Amino acid sequence: KDEVVTLAHGAGGKATRTLIEALFLEEFGNPRLAPLADAALFDVAGARFAFTTDSYVVKPLFFPGGDIGELAVNGTVNDLAVAGARPLFLTAGFIVEEGFPTADLRRVAASVGRAARAAGVEVVAGDTKVVERGKGDGVYINTSGIGVLEHEHDLSPASVRPGDKVLVSGTLGDHGIAVMVARGSLELEVDLDSDTAPLTELVHGLLSATPGVRCLRDLTRGGLATALNEIADAANVSIVIDEAALPIRPEVNGACEILGIDPLYVANEGKLVAIVAPEALAAAYSALGSSPLGIDTEIVGEVRADAEGMVFLDTAFGGRRVVDVLVGDPLPRIC
């Protein structure tokens, strides 16, 4: 039992999950929240909606390939997209630190505008709070989003079956490493952009191509390892991935070696993992790969019946090791 909140509780891994289940669900859980999916689903007036929220506390606010404003739009759009919804409307709540330059705030707001237009959503409500110097860090943004489901797919992990295939829509860890490099603490000269992007069209293409999509997750905090562990756990299956098949940029691999971390745990902000039925593999692979945001799509593993809840990696050297859930927080405030 942790007596105080630690950075690990915000890392998106084991400690986060424990806090959510043992504290938040305990105190205000309900059937719509309980699946702990990317977005919650509900029905009104015969339509099916997805509703989600994320707060963004990324440091630094501006990094190669994006900034907190763009992240705040794309991140919430992506939680709706992987729920199978078309994102419609966002809210944006700003918590600004006293003394923050209005020019920087405008730059962030402009990014929100640009990203919203690119993703086809409107920010229809906002809020502005200011906290004293030393009680914030420039600006924190919360976005919440609502979308409407356009497809019939049941994308809950419970529909995942042994024999299903695992695809990732592109290179792993780009966002997390780009932010770490931008922080300047690594003595690293790496030319790498965050992959922040809205996944709506990628998902729409995939779901239109085949009815065999079982489950989708955007790869954010905790990376592919955490997403797969959550799916394996919820579906009572194991998942085996193949190290040789994982698309990882050499710059990301290099930075991870220096940082002493595993790229499997590093965040993206414009990638997803898809679990698809074996008979849907070809259609899914070509749908993802033909989308501009999916050109590096790879088939990286498959679902097994044994060892329920476990994730394994077949290494390049012919071994097999357990890929555990993320413990601790190797990369704080990455999103």
Ligand X SMILES: Nc1ncnc2c1ncn2[C@@H]1O[C@H](COP(=O)(O)OP(=O)(O)OP(=O)(O)O)[C@@H](O)[C@H]1O
Binding site for ligand X (CB under 6 A): 12, 16, 20, 24, 33, 36-38, 54, 75, 79, 92, 94, 125-128, 220-221, 335
CB of 29 to ligand X, least distance (A): 8
Judged by CB under 5 A, the stretch of 37-45, 135-143, 197-205, 291-299 that binds Mg ion is: 37-45
Please identify the residue of the shown chain whose CB is closest to the bound ligand X.
Answer: 126
Which one, 39 or 273, has the nearer CB to a copy of itself?
Answer: 39
139 neighbors 68 (Cβ within 8 angstroms): yes
CB of 220 to Mg ion, least distance (A): 5
Cis peptide before 64 (omega within 30 of 0): no
214 neighbors 195 (Cβ within 8 angstroms): no
Instruction: List the single partner that 302 binds among a copy of itself, Mg ion, ligand X, none, CB under 5 to 8 Å by kind.
Output: none
Tokens of 117: 């237009």
Residue 98 contacts a copy of itself per CB under 8 A? yes
Instruction: List the single partner that 136 binds among ligand X, a copy of itself, Mg ion, none, CB under 5 to 8 Å by kind.
Output: a copy of itself
Tell me the chain's radius of gyration from C-alpha atoms.
19
Distances (CA, A) of 175 to 119, 144, 179, 195, 303: 18, 21, 6, 5, 27
CB of 290 to ligand X, least distance (A): 26
Q: Which of 72, 85, 119, 146 forms a contact with a copy of itself (CB under 8 A)? A: 146
CA dihedral of 232, 235, 240, 244, whole degrees rounded to 10: -70
Distance in angstroms (rounded) separating the CA atoms of residues 220 and 222: 6
Instruction: List the single partner that 215 binds among Mg ion, ligand X, a copy of itself, none, CB under 5 to 8 Å by kind.
Output: none
152 neighbors 273 (Cβ within 8 angstroms): no
DSSP element (H, E) containing 40: strand 40-44
Q: Which of 62, 118, 130, 186 forms a contact with a copy of itself (CB under 8 A)? A: 130
Residue 38 contacts Mg ion per CB under 5 A? yes
Residue 122 contacts a copy of itself per CB under 8 A? yes
Strand partners, 42: 49
Which one, 94 or 285, has the nearer CB to a copy of itself?
Answer: 94
